Structures are given as structure tokens and as C-alpha cells.
Amino acid sequence: MAAKILVGTASWSDPGFIADWYPPGLAKNRLLSWYAEHFNFVEVNSTFYSIPTARVVEGWVRQTPADFVFDIKLFKLLSRHTVEAKFLPPDLRKRAKLNGTKVMLTPELEEVVAERILAEIEPVREAGKLGALLLQLSPAFRPKTNDLAELNLLLEKFSGTAVAVELRNRDWMTGEQKRDTLSFFRERRTTLVTVDAPESEHFTVMPFTDEITNSDLAYWRFHGRNEKAFVTGRTVADRFDYDYSEEEIADIAEVVQETSKKTKALHLVFNNNRSHYAPKAAAKLLQVLEAKRLVIRPAASAKHS
């Protein structure tokens, strides 16, 4: 096999999954272990909203098989989103500069938050289950007002771990800026996330690119192709309301097959999280990739296809 391909969803506890995918009445503390019977990879979403504790992370390790992989979405303060002070750990709250109730991101705070995250997720690393860290930047982070060099401190702090960066302002990947953006990530051997999204000129919709910026890891996130929902949706489920067809999954598998020849690992994350659309699409893609002999699924997940 050209690359190690992992397929999963963005979160295991999404409300739509609980409503329409998990068995009715399944206890919340059983969700992850049940998910792990179907997939051996997940992107953790809760870590975007707060820094987890090592005790919680240890629970993830206990509930999953030895070959399970976690990609961890970084706390949203690091990705330039607005954060209220109450979402910081109490000791870090005392060190933060505030604008009203909002935390101001300073280099000093950025460094200590990054260090805290690394410390708290250490149980996953020790268990050999840490895949990559995902930095999902705010759409407000754009070439007109920002420079990619602002990410250097973070990339240096996380230099011992694979990092994937998802840009959410299309200006980074249009015109002459596209060349500079790709050069930035290639020079730092950092993975630029490929986004499957609607065809749209809206500034928040990234154009698709299969460019590889780090031959060790390619990272794709599937947001669905519903342009109206993506641009106008008020909730996460509204924005990513899209059910991939079997034909679309087959087309995706063809592109995945070509990309797998250019990288050592490929992480495929479905974020079309209305209802059970994401796990359904992930399971179908696994099935197609398995038929192409691009993946070998664990026995536990194969029996659920």
C-alpha cells in the first residue's frame, strides 16, 4: 500500500450521531467504545472548545483498541477565534490579558496554552494513539490583515508532532497568494488541509486542492457540497447538511487513490454532520477503499459495513 489511510468522522459525540446512528439509549460513556467498533480513527472536536484534562484523555485511551488513532483539534484560542476567559483553565485565566470578557492572544499566552495542551494529551501520545493536531483557523485570519508567519511560534512548539492547518479564508489559495501559501507550508513540512466543500466564491469556502505540502501526511476534511447551507447556515449541523451519494464517494475514492501515491499517510475526516451523514459516508468510503485494497479494516469495523 502506498500510504496508510485512515477514515473517520469529526467527533464521535455529535448530536446527529446520537439521534440517528448510535443505538437508542446508548449511555454517553459508551459512545466512544461503540464508535471504535466501526472506525479506528477519529478527529476530536471537543478540544476546540476547551483544553481537555489528562484524566479525560486517559479515558479515551482506555475505551479504544490498541490501533486506534486520535487527531486532536486545537483549542480555538490558538486558531484565532474569539474566546471568553471562562473557557481557559483557572490558572491560565489569571495570566490572560482581557478585552472585556474576551481573551487577547499574546505570544506569551499562546506559548503556555500550547504547552498545556501537549501536557494534557500526553496519555494519547504515550499509548501510541496520537495522529495529528488540527489547527482550524478562523475565516477572519486572511492575507489582507494577517501573515502566515504568525503561525511560526505554534509550529515550533508543536514541532515534535504532526500538525495539519485548515485555512478558512479562500484568499489564501487564490491568485498569486496561492503560490506563497503553498511555499510557506512546504518549507516548514507542515500539512495544509485539503477541503471538500461546495463550489462557491464565498470567502469562507476554500477551493479544493490536492497539493501535497508534507509528504509524511495529507489531511482531507469533507464538509459537504451544499452551498446555500454552507454560507447561510446558523448552526454546525445546518452548515454541513449534506449526504454524499454513492457516486460522489466513488469519485472521492479515485482521487484518494492517486493522492495515496504521494504521501506516507492520508487522514480522511467527514464533517458533514447533519444526522448520520458523516459516519454513513465514512463507512461507504472505507468499503470502496477496501475493495481497491488501499485499506485493511480491523475485523470489528468490517463486520459493521
Over the chain (305 residues), the average pLDDT of each successive run of 10 is 90 95 96 97 97 97 97 97 94 92 95 97 98 97 97 96 97 96 97 94 91 96 93 86 96 95 96 95 96 76 45
Tell me the H-state helices in 121-243: 122-126, 152-157, 177-187, 227-232, 236-239
Query: What region, left, alpha or beta, does residue 24 occupy, with left being phi > 0 and alpha being psi -120 to 50 degrees?
Result: beta
In DSSP terms, which residues pair with 195 in a beta bridge?
A: 221
Residue 303 is predicted with a pLDDT of 44
C-alpha dihedral sign at 24, 37, 70, 129: positive
Residue 305 is predicted with a pLDDT of 42
In the chain the domains, ranked by start, together with CATH numbers, are: 4-302 (3.20.20.410)
Residue 249 near residue 285, CB atoms below 8 Å: yes
Beta strands in 167-240 (DSSP E): 191-192, 194-196, 218-222
- Which residues, 6 or more positions from 246, have their beta carbon under 8 angstroms from its beta carbon? 284
Residue 304 is predicted with a pLDDT of 43
Question: What is the model's pTM?
Answer: 0.94
Residue 1 is predicted with a pLDDT of 52
Residue 170 near residue 154, CB atoms below 8 Å: no
- Grid coordinates in use for 264? 506516507
Residue 79 is predicted with a pLDDT of 96
Burial of 238 (0-12, 13-18, 19+ CB in 10 A): middle
> φ, ψ for residue 103 (rounded to 5)?
-80, 135
